[in-house]
Amino acid sequence: MNAAKTNTGRQLLEVDNLWVKFPTRNGIFDAVRGVSFTLGQERLGIVGESGSGKSMTGRAILRLIRKPGMVSADKLSLEGQDLMDISEKEMRDVRGQKISMVMQDPKFSLNPVMTVGAQIVEAYRLHADVSKTDARKKAIEMLEAVSIRDPERVFRSYPHELSGGMGQRVMIAMMMIPDPQILIADEPTSALDVSVQTSVLRIMDRLVKERGMGLIFISHDLNLVSSFCDRVLIMYGGRVVEVCDADKLHEAKHPYTQGLLNSLPRLDRPQTHLQVLERDDAWRETESVSGAK
Amino acid sequence: MSMTDISAPAEKLGMRAWLLSEIPTSRRHARLSTLYARWLILRGNSMSMFGLGVLVLLVLSAAFAPWVAPHSPVEQILSNRLLPPGSEGYLLGTDTLGRDILSRIIYGARETLMIVTLIAMIAPVAGLFVGTLAGYVGGVVDIVLMRITDIFLAFPRLVLALAFASALGPGLENAVLAITLTAWAPYARMARAETLTIRNSDYIAAVKLQGAGPFRILTKHIWPLCISSLIVRVTLDMAGIILTAAGLGFLGLGAQPPSPEWGAMTSYGRDVFLSNWWVAIMPGLAIFTVSLAFNLLGDGLRDVLDPKGGGQ
Amino acid sequence: MSGIIIENLNVWFGKGRDRVDAVKNASLSVELGQSFGLVGESGSGKSTILKALTGLAPEWSGRMSVQGVELGKKRDKEFFRTVQMVFQDPYASLHPRHSVDQVLTETLMLHGKDDVNGRIIRLLDDVGLGPSFRFRYPHQLSGGQRQRVAIARALASEPRVLLLDEPTSALDVSVQAEILNLLTDLRAEHKLTYLMVSHDLAVVGHMCDESAVMQHGEIVEMLKTDDLRRGHAEHPYTKHLLESSAGYVAEDA
């Protein structure tokens, strides 16, 4: 367990009253409803089940939600720079360079017809004016930084030739190479075997600490998030229902969080029946709890 | 107001709510609900509705031609030949033999409909049979069936039609036969590809674990899934098929005079095209409109029947 | 009485140079009424053992028997009346065009059961779905509801043995709890034997009396759940799995 960091360094991201809406045949569907939080140089976990809006929140920050989805926020700023009003071209400069995103399955997030090396170099040269040789050198360095033992060989490989864990490390390398300030990781280890999960998380942990980055870790796995992150936001029905320090998660007050924790089977706590979560419609209606520090 | 006026709106509301219900109460209810949901999606697509409207018009023209057409399609009144559109009594003008073009187009709908129906009934069904069998059974059966399919795919339609015409004599039935013989092969390909994907699914494994045999799996599990994409493909292909039949008619290989088949009509208008454009253009427009209608309907059907989004 | 006996099972795919041995020399036995777990990560061969049992794996060698009956290349109706399976992905195990009623009717008819209507009502009741679900299509059901339908389908033939292939790994945590509770209740009520595959040690510890740990196609260790809970593992891989399941541990911890 990590000790709660009360000092989160400088504030990197500020999100205030974020809403994401989708028009459907039966009316407007609110995927994210009034979510607010700040992110410092810390690891912030966003936990929720499917449909809670956690992935949408991550995508909304990077403006990856296309029409007809509608994103609105009172404030969405990166180190003071407003992200809501800038043009698409300026947003492209932000994506990758200032805020990066690692997604769940490298099978789907890496281009299958380009070698891994070519993709990393492309990602790098999008934001830095360097020669191909220099970019290649940096890419190899980055592959070493994510603990890939034979970076030259991996550089020449295609994504389908790599294992899940390796692919995810490549993804991390590609996303970290432009040296962003914030990394958003959306279920980065859910598609990986449990023994590989730890090594990938360690790499993310080390890189984030070394570079003083902020990390938003989106997951459905409450235990994982509580052991990996510093602070946790729990989302339900598009709203944040609870915010707490990761090591104080087991003292959580909201019935949904408690329900989630108690419905997990545990090796150290034998029971004949698992506690079933009783959903309360009132949870959807209550205002989002603010995750601002 | 009569009693029916007051009660009708309330009944309509009840019917609609019943059809849109989230909780079907019987098999019939469930099927009707699904059909209604799909209809609503289609109805929301105005282009497809336009296409559907044109096709309904086509069917009605064919059915009620004798009552709707102002003149006989075959009666030649040589004194009225080559009258331009808008002439008295001849809305679309007359052709080189004084026959009313509008009437011929209306009667010609029958030939068009015959072509469409025959081909739509035979080609995709044959393709479904062959493709799903090859895809499901695999092995030698697959190889043999697919090579046969390849042979038929390689035949150019017009050449085959020419061959048939020389062997059996020209005529619309022979043209349709020729087109059908080449049209089924792509459907077989498509059905086979889908079957290959489907047969590895868990739901097929599950029904195998209930002791289901290959016949049941093919007919009750695989065919329903292939039929959606086949329907879409057929409607999109219809445009091309009508044009091919028209092309054959144009070459004199399809419908024979005095049949008012649209392709043949366009051909007759060739000689007087520069001076009396309407003789060729009017039937040409009819072909164009119906082909477009099929295309638009096919697009709409794709949105409806696509398993990823349909019926939800 | 013996339920499932597997001796020296080898399962492979492909021939010659391209041959992949998915299961190597696996042996285990499950008593009738017992709940047995197969734990391992992807590629460990755990699901392949289930496939071999149900006749879905073409090439295998060794011995397999269920309730004393030896299994050969093909499976007969009697087998399917005794052994049924629940698949992992609830979004893939139901035919998209068949309603719940159609699925259950077909299953009951294939097993030659009478009183189809009454049985459907009872099955739906058994799995906690009311009659309002009977005529729905899969896309009108949530993941948990679909899995309940899959369980109902498996129970339709009144089997003695249920093979469960990661039945809750595609479900949300709260839904998982409901389904696991349902499976626990059904086992007690119908006196079923479970062979459950999972990558999640906590789930296996909760549901099973005993489990086999698999790695790269081989069974590396068999433990009773008590030992699992106390962390009394001998094989290093089992120890490694136990550690990993405790959550993330930082490098310098």
Nearest Cα to Cα of residue B226 among B188, B179, B272: B188
Tokens of C103: 């699925």
d(CA C54, CA C145): 25
Whether B132 and B222 have beta carbons less than 8 Å apart is answered as yes
Tally the residues of chain B: 312
pLDDT digits (tens, 9 = 90+) for B167-177: 877 778 888 88
Least CA distance to B201: which residue of chain C? C92
Neighbours of chain C (3+ CB pairs under 8 A): A, B
Whole-number pLDDT of residue C29: 92
How far is the alpha carbon of A158 from chain C, nearest alpha carbon, in Å? 20
Is the model's pLDDT at B307 over the cut of 60?
no
Mean pLDDT of the residues in chain A: 87
Q: Which residues pair with A235 in a beta bridge?
A: A240
Residues of C in contact with A268 (CB under 8 A): 229
User: What is the distance, to the nearest Å, from the Cα of residue C148 to the centroid of all Cα atoms in its chain?
Assistant: 14
Tokens of A169: 């490390």
Beta carbons within 8 Å of B273's beta carbon, 6+ residues apart: B279, B280
Residues of C in contact with B30 (CB under 8 A): 99, 101, 135-137
In a domain, B13, yes or no: no
Tokens of A281: 């419609």
Percent of chain C residues past pLDDT 90, beyond the cut: 64
pLDDT band at B53 (very low <50, low <70, confident <90, very high): very high
B29 close contact with C: CB closer than 8 A: yes
In a domain, B46, yes or no: no
Which position has the higher pLDDT, B105 or B178? Answer: B105
B207 close contact with C: CB closer than 8 A: yes
The secondary structure of B126-184 as a DSSP string is HHHHHHHHHHHH-HHHHHHHHHHHHHHHHS-HHHHHHHHHHHH-S-HHHHHHHHHHHHH
C-beta atoms of C99 and B24 within 8 A? yes
The structure's pTM equals 0.85
C-beta atoms of C87 and B206 within 8 A? yes
Any idea what the Cα angle at residue B66 is, between residues B264 and B59, rounded to 5°? 70
CB contact residues (below 8 A), chain A span 183-212, against chain C: 193-195, 197-198, 201-202, 205-206
C-beta atoms of C202 and A276 within 8 A? no
C-beta atoms of A264 and C172 within 8 A? no
C-beta atoms of A274 and C181 within 8 A? yes
Beta carbons within 8 Å of B250's beta carbon, 6+ residues apart: B263, B264, B266, B267
The mean per-residue pLDDT over the stretch C140-151 comes to 93
Nearest Cα to Cα of residue A71 among A34, A103, A40, A99: A34
pLDDT band at B4 (very low <50, low <70, confident <90, very high): very low
How far is the alpha carbon of C181 from chain A, nearest alpha carbon, in Å? 6
Residues of C in contact with B201 (CB under 8 A): 92
In a domain, C36, yes or no: yes
Is the model's pLDDT at A4 over the cut of 70?
no
d(CA A7, CA C250): 19
Burial class, B218, CB count within 10 angstroms (exposed 0-12 / middle 13-18 / buried 19+)? buried
Tokens of C207: 């549901």
Whether C160 and C82 have beta carbons less than 8 Å apart is answered as yes
How far is the alpha carbon of C237 from chain B, nearest alpha carbon, in Å? 30
Three-class secondary structure of residue B31 per DSSP: helix
B20 close contact with C: CB closer than 8 A: no
Name the residue facing B206 among C93, C133, C139 (closest C-beta): C93
The mean per-residue pLDDT over the stretch B284-289 comes to 90
In the block, residue with structure tokens 């989630």:
A260
Residues spanned by the domain of C192: 2-244
Least CA distance to C241: which residue of chain A? A195
Tokens of B254: 């399809």
The secondary structure of chain C as a DSSP string is -EEEEEEEEEEEES-GGG-EEEEEEEEEEEETT-EEEEEE-TTSSHHHHHHHHHT--S-EEEEEEETTEEP-SS--HHHHHHEEEE-S-TTTSS-TTS-HHHHHHHHHHHTT-S-HHHHHHHHHHHTT--GGGTT--GGGS-HHHHHHHHHHHHHTT--SEEEEESTTTTS-HHHHHHHHHHHHHHHHHHT-EEEEEES-HHHHHHH-SEEEEEETTEEEEEEEHHHHHHT---SHHHHHHHHHTT----TT-
In a domain, C250, yes or no: no
Is the model's pLDDT at B185 over the cut of 70?
yes
How far is the alpha carbon of C200 from chain B, nearest alpha carbon, in Å? 22
pLDDT digits (tens, 9 = 90+) for C33-49: 999 999 998 888 899 99
Substitution target in B38, B209, B223, B312 with the highest count of C β-carbons within 10 Å is B209
C-beta atoms of A270 and C206 within 8 A? yes
Nearest Cα to Cα of residue A221 among C248, B131, B228, B72: C248
Whole-number pLDDT of residue A5: 43
ipTM confidence score: 0.88
Name the residue facing C172 among A50, A228, A268 (closest C-beta): A50
Is the model's pLDDT at B1 over the cut of 50?
no
Least CA distance to A274: which residue of chain C? C177
The mean per-residue pLDDT over the stretch C113-129 comes to 92
Mean pLDDT of the residues in chain C: 90
- Domains of chain C: total: 1
At residue C195, φ and ψ (nearest 5 deg) are -120, 110
Which position has the higher pLDDT, C249 or C205? Answer: C205
Least CA distance to A196: which residue of chain C? C244
Substitution target in C89, C148, C168, C174 with the highest count of A β-carbons within 10 Å is C174
Name the residue facing C77 among B23, B25, B211 (closest C-beta): B211
C-beta atoms of C202 and A270 within 8 A? no
User: Among A134-143, A191-200, B139-148, whose mean pLDDT is lowest?
Assistant: A191-200
Substitution target in C48, C97, C124, C162 with the highest count of B β-carbons within 10 Å is C97
C-beta atoms of B311 and C135 within 8 A? no
d(CA A9, CA A22): 36
C-beta atoms of C92 and B311 within 8 A? no
How far is the alpha carbon of C55 from chain B, nearest alpha carbon, in Å? 9
Range of A7-11, B111-115, C56-60, C161-165 with top mean pLDDT:
C161-165
C-beta atoms of C174 and A273 within 8 A? no
Tokens of A213: 């980055």
Nearest Cα to Cα of residue B251 among B239, B266, B236: B266
d(CA C181, CA C169): 15
How far is the alpha carbon of C89 from chain A, nearest alpha carbon, in Å? 14
How far is the alpha carbon of C213 from chain A, nearest alpha carbon, in Å? 14
In a domain, C65, yes or no: yes
Could you give the C-alpha distances from B81 to A218, B91, B275, C42, C163, in angstroms and in order? 78, 14, 13, 80, 81
Three-class secondary structure of residue A219 per DSSP: strand
In a domain, C252, yes or no: no
The domain spanning residue C193 has which CATH number?
A: 3.40.50.300
Residues spanned by the domain of B171: 53-305
pLDDT band at B33 (very low <50, low <70, confident <90, very high): confident
Q: Which domains does chain A have, with CATH numbers?
A: 13-285 (3.40.50.300)
C-beta atoms of A273 and C206 within 8 A? no
Whole-number pLDDT of residue A3: 42
Three-class secondary structure of residue B256 per DSSP: coil
User: Among A190-194, A227-231, B182-186, whose mean pLDDT is lowest?
Assistant: A190-194
- Domains of chain B: total: 1
pLDDT digits (tens, 9 = 90+) for A43-78: 999 999 988 999 999 999 999 988 889 999 999 999
pLDDT band at C166 (very low <50, low <70, confident <90, very high): very high
Is the model's pLDDT at B12 over the cut of 60?
no
